[in-house]
Structure 1
């Protein structure tokens, strides 16, 4: 772990925490901007679901390649430096999604997006872990809530601007340009950490119960990634919604997830990990089933919202469990599980797209129901050894 190299005061720590919240917000907004424009990209390049899925897979390949070096890169340059560079490159890649006229250009841009987004994610989560440690109280759910809030705002803006006559390219340029300014501005207030060029953190695969926890994280983030990449297209293609209403499908998911995460620390202090994971999986499965089986747009919005609420605390619960696996350091446990989880988030949507190409998008998204049910069924085995946290007396 890197160490703080600048003067740390309560005010400095608060400033760094708010800067990091901005970074999480922008990260969520960039994912939403891509998600809102999946139908735009599909139409611009004249793609079927399988070709679109292959392009999305390039994003997963870029993420995987970057994750193998993420530990070394963050150790060498520090979270602040990595977040600044990769955040700007990620925004630049999204802004040019429909600039090329050839399919290869899209594939290369999505590979850039996957690589830079994964490095940006590792950098800001490394900073979040350090800030939470220094603050001495739970903060992680709140940071991730800002990612969801950014997704909601990004999707909401994407829903509104077509009504105002904005073209997709104008929206991409303005949204991503604003994101770049926010990223660079927030970097100035992030903690400055001493770097270690010799530190090595290669990607490692978990084993035993850690592998099961990582698998659950991957399944949860596949479901989350499916909402990012396919919810808007589902509303437009399967429910015949216009562009503005379709974008609200993503917004409803992100709003519910943000609300669940803002209250996540309070809930986790009062509900044991196993029943919380069971309830989360069942709620997400019920929401996805509602969206898929009830053929009206309003049911889709409601269902996506329930999926967001169900998935909101999956990652905090699993990361906490990974940090307590016997014989494994907290840092290694979280790193191993997050690697599998992030890979699932990037690789899952292309898998759903390939299923959709040969059947339907409804059939592809039904995987989310199965994955959520598996999370609920496996909760006891994966998390049974996790002790229930005790709520502070003052909170009662």
Structure 2
């Protein structure tokens, strides 16, 4: 193996580690959504507004993420944004002021969204260098990180470890891992200073963005609300409820690690349509049956269904534009608009009806995605 291929191989594993750390950090937040609700004495609607604050920060960042990643390079952008994400995680339970929570959530949205675009841009470049499908495997590391983060959170909750202690520890470890991985990522600049700014998506990017919005609304709802659903609607213990996130993430990881092999053999339209249909049916079964063990199995099947939605869309977006970060940022910006609208929508429904009814939107959006995918992805498959 020559030095160049060795460098690329090391960079590939470094980016995989970044995806893994992103999953751990996001899961650590997701596990403590009920903790945040209790710590700040919030209702569902106020909690949804806090999540909306993160969505506002994310969408505002995504309008310029392609430009920033183009100027800084994916490596430097990942180091800065990953560090900001870890810092916000450490500060989540640092006060009892709702305004302080909102401020932290805005910056959390900024950090996570830029980190997301940065590592996806790096993954897109590595996939193009390899000339074969790699994106699902990268996203599998995110899901694996989510599973590990949620499982660890469940274990610590069962041993009555405080939420603030857990979040600070994960932030410190996450920041160290991000710095170590960043040291061996490729030092390439994705684009020039005058490219990568936000523009209204058109053509194929617009279609991919709409699909991304549908998928991210549903996927984000699982991350943000599944633990609270288990605890509040099904009266599960906090440590058992945390397994909802772990079940969903573990299934996503398994499906994503096999996703690249499947994507080489199945068209994007067929893969996404069948997967979304599985998610829609599984989520409906969870809500209709209303049993904790059934919910864990159902959340796993929902995870299988959503596993390859984002990898397929981001991989397609990276190939549409000469600057992979630009294409990903444009599609991600539309997708995050959907994710931003999802939590408050579910929170409002939960406040005025029930969280069960709110989560029914996951099944609805997955169904729409299943129907729309064949037509919208036909150009990408051609």
- Relative to structure 1, the CA distance from residue 196 to residue 282 in structure 2 (aligned partners, 3 Å threshold; closer, same or farther) is closer
Residue in structure 2 matching 1:186, options 181, 186, 195: 181
- Relative to structure 1, the CA distance from residue 106 to residue 126 in structure 2 (aligned partners, 3 Å threshold; closer, same or farther) is same
C-alpha distance 62-334 of structure 1, shift in aligned 2 (>3 A)? closer
Q: Does 1:340 align with 2:316?
A: no
Q: How does 1:136-175 map to 2 (within 5 A)?
A: 136-175=131-170
Partner of 1:285: 280
Q: Distance in 2 between matches of 1:120 and 1:322?
A: 17
| Count of aligned pairs between the two proteins | 380
Contact 1:321 1:383 survives alignment (8 Å): no
- After superposition, the Cα gap between the structure-2 partners of 1:330 and 1:85, relative to the gap in structure 1 and judged at 3 Å, is closer
Q: 1:204 aligns with which of 182, 196, 199?
A: 199
Q: In 1, are the aligned partners of 2:78 and 2:118 still within 8 Å (CA)?
A: yes
The one-character-per-residue Cα deviations of 1:46-93 (angstroms, maximum 9, x if unpaired) are 100000111111001111111122122112221111111111111110
- Give unpaired runs (5+ residues) of structure 1: 1-6, 389-396
Does the aligned pair in 2 maintain the 1:322–1:330 contact within 8 Å?
Answer: no
Q: Give the C-alpha shift of residue 195 in structure 1.
A: 7.2
The answer (yes or no) to whether the contact 1:20–1:186 under 8 Å persists in 2 is: yes
What aligned pairs does 1:1-396 form with structure 2 within 5 A after superposition?
A: 9-194=4-189, 198-322=193-317, 331=324, 333-387=327-381
**Alpha-carbon distance, 1:371 to partner:** 0.4
In 2, Cα distance between equivalents of 1:380 and 1:242: 41
Whether the 8 Å contact between 1:138 and 1:265 is mirrored in structure 2 is yes
* Structure 2 portions without partners, runs of 5+: none
Distance 2:78 2:323 in 1: 23
Whole-Å Cα distance in 2 between the matches of residues 209 and 68 of structure 1? 18
Checking the alignment, whether the CA contact within 8 Å between 1:114 and 1:346 is kept in structure 2 is no
Q: Distance in 2 between matches of 1:228 and 1:19?
A: 25
Identify if the C-alpha distance between structure 1 residues 195 and 126 changes in structure 2 by more than 3 Å, giving closer, same or farther: closer
Q: Deviations over 1:107-150 (max 9, x none)?
A: 00100100011111111111111111222222111111101011
Q: Which has the larger helix fraction?
A: 2
Residues 1:320 and 1:119: Cα distance change in structure 2 (over 3 Å) = closer
- CA pair 81-23 structure 1, distance change in 2 beyond 3 A: same
Distance in 1 (CA, whole Å) between partners of 2:235 and 2:298 is 16
Offset, 1:200: 2.5
- In structure 2, the residue corresponding to 1:281 is in which secondary structure? helix
Residues 382/330 of structure 1: CA separation in 2 closer, same or farther (3 Å cut): farther
Compute the TM-score of the two structures, normalised by the length of structure 1: 0.91
- Other structure's SS at 1:205 match: coil
Q: Does the residue aligned with 2:184 lie in a helix, a strand or coil?
A: coil
